[in-house]
Structure 1
Amino acid sequence: MHENEQQIEKLAVIGTGVIGNGWITRFLAKGYDVVAFDPAEGAEERTHQSIKRAWESMEKIGLADGASPDRLTFVPTVEEAVQDAYLIQENVPEREDLKKSVLESIDQFAKPDAIIGSSTSGIKPSTLQKNLKHPERLLVAHPFNPVHILPLVELVGGESTEQTIINQAVKFYESIHMKPLVVQKEIEGHVADRLMEALWREALHIVNDGIATTEEVDAAIVYGAGLRWAQMGPFLTFHLAGGEQGMRHMLEQFGPALKLPWTKLEAPELTDELKEKVVEGCETHAGDKSVAELEDKRDEFLVKLLDLVEEYWPESKGIATSEK
């Protein structure tokens, strides 16, 4: 196995949708050669457009020596893409049968010591490992959109994943300025998506019941909890809510409220009426700005916000280490 990033000659990306293109942009910005495969018509053109739009953000964050969009190559087969790659990032649609099929092809043609990372947002790695010849080198490496800017990547090993692979994956993702969170016990949805899903369900109930519009729900997060979470997260935020005694007093004072039926954990039925409420609310909120324009504003904001996060939280506190 490679011991450091200087020995990495090539990275492969299979599937070039929103997530795949984010990985490609990040890899290129960190100075790597990237080989990509996606059978969809127009995939290569869409990828180049995505990189072009994101490159200004990468320049603001900082490019590695030799970083260039020209170091991307599209190839017509999975075999050509993964051949000799140090790490293969799989990003095909979230369908278990499709992912298994693609991963089997990757496993067949990749060199035995290559790391295979799946960007799956919900499937357990043990499920994806079935039928692989080398299941020990597969793990979940789940990022967050926009991948080229946001640093969190959840690393989840399956029943057959070797610890050395997880350790090497941690070192690699750290080398491209990501914050690996090693999830010690696999579960559907991993960690961050499960938290976001709970908030998403509650938000849908609030809109469905006519309590608030989509714009008002967004404002409640943007100007309230979201600002605090960007620095501290929910636990440390509540720790501060307890005053001098911290979390101990907070739990004593507000713990009983957890029994009150404030939240609706079951997702609401996604009726046509609710769909229209959500769609119309978002379109009204967006105004005359296209999705591309909103993405550009988001990226500019996140680049500036990351500087603040690093200033006030310079260490990777709360991020699990690779060693069990």
Structure 2
Amino acid sequence: MNNKSHGVKQLAVIGTGVIGNGWIARFLAQGYKVLAFDPVDGAEERTRKAVSHAWPSLEKLGLAEGASQDRIRFASTIEEAVANADLIQENVPEREELKKNVLASIDQFAKSEAIIGSSTSGIMPSVLQEGLQHPERFIVAHPFNPVYILPLVELVGGESTKADVIERASDFYQSIQMKPLVINKEIEGHLADRLMEALWREALHLVNDGVATTEEVDAAIIYGAGLRWAQMGPFLTFHLAGGEKGMRHMLDQFGPALKLPWTKLDAPELTDELKEKVIEGCESHAGDVSIAELEQKRNEFLVELLDLVEKYWPESNNLVTK
């Protein structure tokens, strides 16, 4: 565990669904103790099961000194969970009023210098920090599932967030083997989810219009764009598509195609018929393989893929901040 200059020693996690438990697993693997709170019956049991499920992947990635599945404890109240925390990670369901109410409680009971990070995937930080006693220490810290493997975390400050809070948070998340991406201009959906949402909407149109099945859409990404994006992303991928002159030639040659009606920005109406197409397609594609088995396969793949990304991508790009 590397505390560097961020000063984070005690962690609290509020809300222990898929994302909250992912954070807990990563924190524990990095040698931290975690105090969690979730009022839902059976939350602690589900968390311990989730951490146990994640642990083999974390062992392959490498555990920090002091890492233990047993360093998680559940508090009986939010006040107990956050009172001594240096960083609090909020992960309650994506409903604005619910998040605001929970964040207000966290803000009330946390010490003034503590960082409050929300895992919200789409709500802007300026909205969530409205009404907080200490809005200056609030940020969006949005991860990706599975949090204990995928390193990206989007850090977004609101109108009242202090710059040094984002800096301290960035130092902390980097110290737990994440790649913090500081987004300087807040926008709904942040950055990565907006990109994924655009592809998701187009995928739904292709299935809805009978152009492709869910399995065919997945194959188009798995064996095409997805392999390239894992290393370079869309911009460098297209830069290479331009040959020796790179992006300059690519835009000259293919830029006019952007005016062609190849894609649809608006999502299709989610009719019962479309829902069934998507559901049946996914279930057929998965076959007899359970969700747990699919998760295990995904985890093993991502661990190996991360090794490849690190091998072929410059070391200087370890911290992707703006």
Alignment partners' CA distance in 2, 1:9 and 1:275? 45
Counterparts in 2 of 1:235 and 1:318: CA distance versus 1, 3 Å: farther
Q: Could you say which residue in structure 1 is the equivalent of 2:11?
A: 11
Query: How far apart in 1 are the matches of 2:160 and 2:7?
Result: 26
Return the alpha-carbon distance in structure 2 between the equivalents of residues 297 and 316 of structure 1: 30
- 8 A contact 2:8–2:172 mirrored in 1: no
Show the 5 A alignment for 1:306-321.
Answer: 306-315=306-315, 317=317, 320-321=320-321
2:8 and 2:86 in contact (8 A); partners too: yes
1:210 aligns to 2:210 (yes or no) = yes
Local SS of the residue matching 1:70: coil
| Residue identity matched to 1:116 | I
The answer for unaligned runs of 5 or more in structure 1 is none
Shift of 1:320: 4.8
Q: What is the CA–CA distance in structure 1 between the aligned matches of 2:320 and 2:304, rounded to whole Å?
A: 25
**How do residues 1-324 of structure 1 correspond to structure 2 at under 5 angstroms?**
4=4, 7-315=7-315, 317=317, 320-321=320-321
Alpha-carbon spacing, 1:129–1:316, altered in 2? closer, same or farther (3 Å): farther
Q: Secondary structure at the match of 1:9?
A: coil
Query: Is contact 1:183–1:320 with CA below 8 Å preserved after alignment?
Result: no
| Structure 2 Cα separation of the partners of residues 15 and 7 of structure 1 | 23
**Counterparts of 1:126 and 1:262, CA distance in 2:** 35
Which amino acid is the alignment partner of residue 58 of structure 1? L
Q: TM-score, normalised by structure 2?
A: 0.97
* Number of residue-to-residue matches in the alignment: 321
Separation in 2, partners of 1:107, 1:48: 27
**Contact residue 3 and residue 175 of structure 2 kept, 8 A:** no
Q: Percent identity?
A: 75
Letter in 2 for 1:65: E
Question: Secondary structure, in 3 states, of the residue corresponding to 2:302?
Answer: helix
Give the match's secondary structure for 1:145.
coil
- Residue 9 of structure 1 and its aligned partner are, at CA, apart by 2.9
How far does residue 6 in structure 1 lie from its aligned partner after superposition?
8.8
Give the 3 Å change call, closer, same or farther, for CA 93–287 of structure 1 in structure 2. Answer: same
The one-letter code sitting in structure 2 at the alignment partner of 1:244 is: E
SS of the residue aligned with 2:13?
strand
**Structure 1 vs Structure 2 CA RMSD:** 1.4
How far apart are 1:164 and its partner, in Å?
0.3
Match of 2:315, SS?
coil
- Given that 1:182 and 1:319 are in contact with CA atoms closer than 8 Å, whether structure 2 keeps it comes out as no
Are 1:120 and 1:140, in contact at CA under 8 Å, matched by a contact in 2?
yes
Q: Please list the CA deviations of residues 1-21 of structure 1 after superposition, one character each: whole Å capped at 9, or x if unmatched.
A: x97379533100000000000
